[in-house]
């Protein structure tokens, strides 16, 4: 076995950095020739990442109508349920003469709220994207009443408006603002009856 010689230490890094990089002509040509491919690969990677971002952005924008529709449907279901609560409140208000006027008549929204028959939001007239109006008939307050719910705000613009009266059935119309008619308390012509599926 021959004598062991110590390996010479590598040159300092500063010296390596100061030395010019020398390549033989063939190697230099290969490096220069590979640069366009490397550049295209780099740019392709950047575009791929950007493409993913664009796809995600497009998917997010595409989902906005779906989210808006889901929110609108939830608000509509709540409006229907609120009008049904108004109908129950009217029945009890009349039956128990909760305004104490010795007449079995129906009440306005504020009266139903003061009697504790409605939750505070509904009694205020605005609840979950809908504005509510309720009143007893000006002609026959012991026999007739009506209530309407109209959408408010951008989220539910173009949605359905709802109406109910003393007959106890909720109806709806599209793109139409409903008003109280306390002379006849009618269901507007052309209004459609709410179906069970509207409550799910």
pLDDT at 70: 82
All residues at 6 or more sequence positions from 175 whose CB lies less than 8 Å from its CB, including other chains: 158
- The tokens describing 105, both together, are 């008549």
Give me the residues of the chain with pLDDT under 50, please: 16, 52, 54-63
pLDDT digits (tens, 9 = 90+) for 85-126: 999 999 999 999 999 999 999 999 999 999 999 999 999 999
Among 66, 69, 116, which Cα is nearest to 89's? 116
CA distance between the termini of the chain: 91
CA atoms of 35 and 39, how far apart (whole Å): 6
CA atoms of 134 and 7, how far apart (whole Å): 99
Contact 99, 115 (CB under 8 A): yes
The pTM assigned to this predicted structure is 0.67
């Amino acid at each position: 076995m021959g004598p062991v010689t110590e390996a010479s230490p590598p040159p300092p890094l500063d010296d390596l950095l100061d030395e010019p990089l020398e390549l033989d002509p063939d190697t230099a040509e290969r490096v220069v020739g590979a640069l366009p491919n490397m550049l295209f690969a780099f740019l392709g990677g950047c575009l791929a990442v950007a493409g993913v971002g664009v796809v995600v952005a497009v998917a997010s924008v595409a989902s906005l109508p779906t989210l808006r529709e889901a929110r609108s449907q939830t608000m509509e279901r709540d409006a229907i349920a609120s009008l049904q609560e108004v109908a129950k409140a009217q029945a009890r208000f009349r039956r128990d003469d909760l305004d104490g006027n010795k007449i079995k008549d129906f009440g306005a929204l504020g009266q139903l709220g003061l009697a504790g028959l409605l939750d505070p939001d509904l009694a205020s007239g605005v609840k979950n994207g809908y504005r509510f109006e309720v009143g007893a008939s000006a002609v026959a307050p012991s026999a007739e009443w009506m209530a309407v719910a109209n959408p408010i705000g951008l989220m539910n613009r173009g949605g359905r408006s709802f109406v109910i009266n003393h007959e106890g059935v909720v109806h709806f119309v599209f793109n139409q603002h409903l008003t109280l008619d306390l002379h006849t308390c009618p269901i507007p012509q052309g209004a459609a009856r709410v179906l069970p599926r509207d409550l799910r």
